[in-house]
Amino acid sequence: MKLKIARREAKETNHWLKLILNYGDKNLEEERARLINECEQIKLIMSSIINKLG
């Protein structure tokens, strides 16, 4: 159950990063892309673990 919560939190973090950093400076675009990519990777890892356990 905690893995599902962690996956949901990663999804929510990804959503907020897209909203908040969308209004930022163009210099932050690379950092924004890196953080969003990292969130996506965490979601994929959590989903893979959940699927293998279930």
Q: Among 12-16, 28-32, 43-47, 49-53, which is the least confidently predicted range?
A: 28-32
pTM: 0.76
The tokens describing 16, both together, are: 């907020």
| Per-residue pLDDT, 52 | 95
Query: Is 54 in a helix, a strand, or coil?
Result: coil
The mean of the pLDDT values for the chain is: 86
Q: How far apart are the first and last CA of the chain?
A: 11
pLDDT score of 36 more than 80: yes
* C-alpha–C-alpha distance, residues 39 and 54, integer Å: 22
